[in-house]
Structure 1
Amino acid sequence: MRLFAHFLAFIALATFVGQPLAAQSILRDAETEAFLQDIADPLVEASGLAPGNVEVVLINDPSINAFVAGGQVVYIHSGLIDAADTANEVQGVIAHELGHITGGHIIRIREGYGAATQITLLSMLAGIGAALAGAGDAALGLIMAGQQAAIGKFLAFSRTQEASADAAGAEYLSRAGITGRGSLAFFGKLLNQEMRYGISQNDEAGFYRTHPLSGDRISKLRETYERDPAWDAPLDPDWERRFQRVKAKLQGYIAKPEATLRDYPETDQSTPALLARAYAYHKEARVDRALEAADTLIARDPEDPYFLELKGQVLLESGRPEEAIAPLRRATELTLAEPLIASLLGHALIATEDKDNYEEAEGVLRAAVGRDRYNPFAWYQLGVVYAARGDMPRARLASAEQQVMNRQYPLALRSAQAAEAALPYGSADWLRAQDIVMEARALMEQQCELQNGRNCVNERGRR
């Protein structure tokens, strides 16, 4: 049984690869999302995928990593943004991940599982045969050898996919006319990190790696990049300027204030430094200092929507919603109702507890969810407005939208059922409530099966 448990652990590890978001949280910021989409779009087009159909999502994780997990979504860890020095380095990572998408690697990874599993099962059968024949030590050796061979088979398959994504990424950078210098620089960072932690670069150690040796990857890619006409292409100054802002905001939001203030001291009056310090001061409840930084930024560019958003956020989260409305309203206008900024404006309008503001709040929040349905914060605020106006069916529907996105499936099911029962039969909202009921049931059953390893029965007794 213990040997069989080792096999199950291997299969569980393989399954986890396809579901990496379970214990991670998504970071959302309007400026960051716009930046990541803008630097990705030329690469998406170069890969043959439709621009706008590939999403880049930022994950709150300090490790230096990026991945795809099915669909046309590239996930980037916050630690990768922190480690990168240029937008060009991030583009190199995005190009590599696009190689995984176009190569269908998430789908094809089942091939690697299948081959590894077959080896394991055959070794177990051989081991059982040896055990029945009385050769217990031989049985143990056969099964353990089979497990090691299976793991080696799967890791070799993974390394092949990574090498393929490296080659595809280099091709996409070339087609987009973007230099591969950033890609090489980032691989150099990975190599330095491995050497710092004593990870061997020899072939024997590479047997247990999911990726090719970083030194080998750099050598192969350097040869490709240096021959490419885009090798000497200059970096886009606007992208690089925006990257420094995004990186500073991210550190200010995530890092401890003392670390942010050390890296961006008062003597640094650059825009990125002011952004970073504004968030650090805000986290320390030093509201006057945070607003001083925001006002300095606005004085430099009164029509920058993200500076206005920052001031509005500080005011709102410091208990001054009435003062937050003006900068947030202007930021919403300048961005043509960008959903995240519009949601913040809706929140400020509701937080005033002035019922005269609820009509405007409902309008901006409905516009926000109309452009971005996957915004639980906006759905929650919209539910507050509906409840305050006595529209409980739509309040429950908004709650169901928010709950299903937060993986609160039993609550989402109950909210959607209550909404369905009270909404006009056949209306768009009634149909949406039905959709959430079915979605919540399916997700509850899936969750139960993952936890219990067997089929589960939903509330109506259907499998």
Structure 2
Amino acid sequence: MTLLVVARPAAAQEILRDAETEALFAKMSKPIIEASGLSPNNVKVVLLQDDEINAFTAGGQTVYINSGLIEAADNINQVQGVFAHELGHVADGHVILADRGTKPALGIQILSLVLGAAAAAAGSAEGGMGIAAAGQRAALGSYLAFSRTQEATADATGAKFLNEAGISGKGMLEFFKKLYNEQYRYGYTDVDPFLQSHPLSGDRISNLRQTLMTAPAWNKPTDPKLEEAFLRVKAKLKGYVDDPKETLQAYPPSDQSIYAHYARAYAYHKGGYPDQARAEAAALVKADPHDPYFLELEGQILLEGGDPKAAIPPLREATELTNYQPLISTTFGHALVATDDKANLPEAVKVLKQAVARDDDNPFAWYQLGTAYAASGDEARASLATAESAAMQGDDQLAVLSARRAMAGIPANSPDWIRAQDIALTSQNALDDEKHDR
């Protein structure tokens, strides 16, 4: 994937960024978002490298989908069902309302500790411990009941969004059935429903079946182009995330499908077999010489294999075919910089400036732009680019130093100078707050 990997310590996972995957997510989610009354421009779908079959929201209008869920899904309609459920959480404000579940539970727990301490002080240590333990169980039960209610509400809201978007709810029920089967596969057959944060999968299916099966869209087929895009993304993700041996078992050389070439190209590239990786990428380009994502892959393999000059033609075409998609533009700009040819620097600066202007979460693009500026002799704007990258990654100290260095070399009150000043002030405030909290 011209997969840009971005660490997110707060989520304890890594964000995977890929142009083709993000295009798929945008297309599959747009009608559901519109049905919810939210704007597709504001809702983000983010892919995480995590083999757990899961998706979640954590505030704002962002839905996180684990790579394990993509691998587990059989079709894009199942992913749409999961997305609709998570969007239900967003639309219903469940993260904002989380305190309604945690505060009562915390109150129960604190009260039990106070009563337990009082009992212990009165001479009944065992009684005090029993009261505290009972309180903790009650607090947990209170929170889990609240969580189950939120999950059931999100199910209903998500089903409503699917129906209003004219998308079949088969995928939603199929995925819940998949989770139900997983319980039996791993022996979770005797589960206490009151100790779960989610309703049991069987109950979720029963509660949603009538709503989804009676909708006009129930038997509506998925757009074949959308399904094709999903199968491609699933294959390339497997090649990137899984152990190369596993990928080659799933997609042996005898399999000459597009999906197999895609998966093997990433597996070979990841495993350190450049000749085989190039051959698989070449097979893809031969099958469709003007597919931008095949060209992107070919260019990426050439670039990361040490031949940036050869990577430029396919990456330039991929960039143009996608109307300068920021992630692809970043890889193209990287190739131009990596040639160490000063004649390529003006184009590199132009392409990378477009990339950072259209993508507000791409520190690697800022890093490459800074490298291009430095190689061009523009140290002040190289420092500004470093400040932008550092600020995105939470390195406030480097952001302050770089921004101040940029301000010293950029004409005062110009747009770049004002931007450097903003970064310096914001990052310095963050540093001061951190010191204050210690």
Matched, 1:195 2:176: no
Q: Which amino acid aligns with 1:295?
A: A
Matched, 1:84 2:65: no
Q: Which amino acid aligns with 1:152?
A: G
Deviations 1:178-207 (A, max 9, x none): 1111111111111122222222454xx222
Matches of residues 36-435 of structure 1 in structure 2 within 5 Å?
A: 36-202=25-191, 205-435=192-422
Q: How many residue pairs are counted as aligned between the two chains?
A: 431
Q: Secondary structure of the equivalent of 2:195?
A: coil
Deviation larger for 324-333 or 402-411: 402-411
TM-superposed deviation, 1:22: 3.1
Distance in 2 (CA, whole Å) between partners of 1:254 and 1:445 is 39
TM-superposed deviation, 1:85: 0.8
- Among 11, 14, 18, the alignment partner of 1:29 is 18
Deviations 1:73-100 (A, max 9, x none): 1100000000001000000011000000
Residue matched to 2:4? none
TM-superposed deviation, 1:424: 2.5
TM-superposed deviation, 1:351: 0.5
Cα root mean square deviation, aligned:
1.7
Deviations 1:221-259 (A, max 9, x none): 222211222111112111111100000010111111111
Deviations 1:20-71 (A, max 9, x none): 8431110011000000110000000011111222111100111000011111
Structure-2 change in CA distance of 1:126 and 1:48 (3 Å):
same
Q: Which amino acid aligns with 1:198?
A: G
Distance in 2 (CA, whole Å) between partners of 1:439 and 1:197 is 50
Residue matched to 2:424? 437
Distance in 2 (CA, whole Å) between partners of 1:277 and 1:130 is 66
Q: Secondary structure of the equivalent of 2:238?
A: helix
Structure-2 change in CA distance of 1:367 and 1:182 (3 Å):
same
Contact 1:201 1:213 in 2 (8 A): no
TM-score after normalising by structure 2: 0.94
Distance in 2 (CA, whole Å) between partners of 1:199 and 1:192 is 10
Q: Which amino acid aligns with 2:260?
A: A
Q: Secondary structure of the equivalent of 1:76?
A: strand
TM-superposed deviation, 1:287: 2.2
Which structure has the higher relative contact order (CA within 8 Å, separation 6+)? 2
TM-superposed deviation, 1:443: 4.5
Distance in 2 (CA, whole Å) between partners of 1:78 and 1:239 is 18
Q: Secondary structure of the equivalent of 1:350?
A: helix
Structure 1: state its 5+ residue gaps: 1-18, 450-454, 458-463
Q: Which amino acid aligns with 1:165?
A: A
TM-superposed deviation, 1:442: 4.9
Contact 1:41 1:52 in 2 (8 A): no
Deviation larger for 410-419 or 395-404: 410-419
Distance in 1 (CA, whole Å) between partners of 2:31 and 2:292 is 24
Structure 2: state its 5+ residue gaps: 1-7
Distance in 1 (CA, whole Å) between partners of 2:412 and 2:129 is 64
Deviations 1:255-301 (A, max 9, x none): 11111111111121111111111111212332222222222222222
TM-superposed deviation, 1:376: 0.9
TM-score after normalising by structure 1: 0.89
Q: Secondary structure of the equivalent of 1:75?
A: strand
Q: Which amino acid aligns with 1:289?
A: Q
Distance in 1 (CA, whole Å) between partners of 2:52 and 2:66 is 7
Distance in 1 (CA, whole Å) between partners of 2:178 and 2:429 is 43
Distance in 2 (CA, whole Å) between partners of 1:131 and 1:29 is 59
Q: Secondary structure of the equivalent of 1:230?
A: coil
Q: Which amino acid aligns with 2:25?
A: L
Residue matched to 1:456? 437
Structure-2 change in CA distance of 1:200 and 1:413 (3 Å):
farther
Structure-2 change in CA distance of 1:69 and 1:333 (3 Å):
same
Deviation larger for 48-57 or 166-175: 48-57
Identity value in percent: 55
